[in-house]
Every structure is written in structure tokens, then in C-alpha cells.
Amino acid sequence: MTLRWFLLVSHALFCLGVFGMLTRRNAIAMLLSIELLLNAAGLNFVCFSRIFSNAQAQTIAFFVIALAACEAVVGLAIILSLSRHAKTVFADEAKLLSG
């Protein structure tokens, strides 16, 4: 497979992530959409490091994966706290976090 297909898959993942962020009300689904966006960015970095023979892009991709893991932990902790206090996981119904 050529790298063009990997870039096409990355573009599709990014579009699915943006679509999920714009259409979902559930906070967990929004977190999954953010994960799709970060995975698309990481795949792009790996593809471009392969094209240009640059190891720095792979290092950045590693940090994108670490950032996605941290985002998942913090996001799930916020959602768990929100579901305990507000009894909902819908982002538009939760007014607990607004000042």
C-alpha cells in the first residue's frame, strides 16, 4: 500500500472526529471524537516522517499518543464527577461546571 492511502485514512478519521464533535451531545462520545482527531494527527505525523525520512515527526507522534492517553484519563475523571453530581453525561444539560 502506498502512503497516499494512509493519508486518505487519516483524513477520513479526522472528518469522522469533527463530525462526532459537532453532532454528539454525550460527553463520552465527544471524548471518543477527540481521540479520533488525535489519532488522525498521529497517523499524519508518521506518514510524513516516512515520506521525508525525518525521525522528529515520529517523536511528535509519540507525544500525540501520550497526550491522547492523558486527555482520556482527565476527561473520564471529569465525566465521572459530572455524572455523580449532575446525574447526567450530556454536555448541554450540565450547568455544574459554569462558574
Contact criterion met (CB below 8 Å) for 64 and 34? no
Read off the C-alpha cell for 14.
479526522
Contact criterion met (CB below 8 Å) for 68 and 39? yes
The size of the chain, in residues, is: 99
Q: How many domains does the structure of the chain reveal?
A: 1
- We report the CATH number of the domain holding residue 21 as 1.10.287.3510
Q: Against a cut of 0.85, is the pTM above it?
A: no
Range of the domain at 11: 3-86
Residue 25 backbone dihedrals phi, psi, to 5 degrees? -105, -20
pLDDT tens track for 20-30: 999 988 888 88
pLDDT tens track for 41-99: 988 888 888 888 888 888 888 888 898 889 888 888 888 887 787 777 777 766 655 55
Q: Do the domain assignments include residue 28? A: yes
Q: Do the domain assignments include residue 97? A: no
At 90 the three-state DSSP class reads: strand
Q: Do the domain assignments include residue 92? A: no
Residue type at position 18:
V
Q: Do the domain assignments include residue 48? A: yes
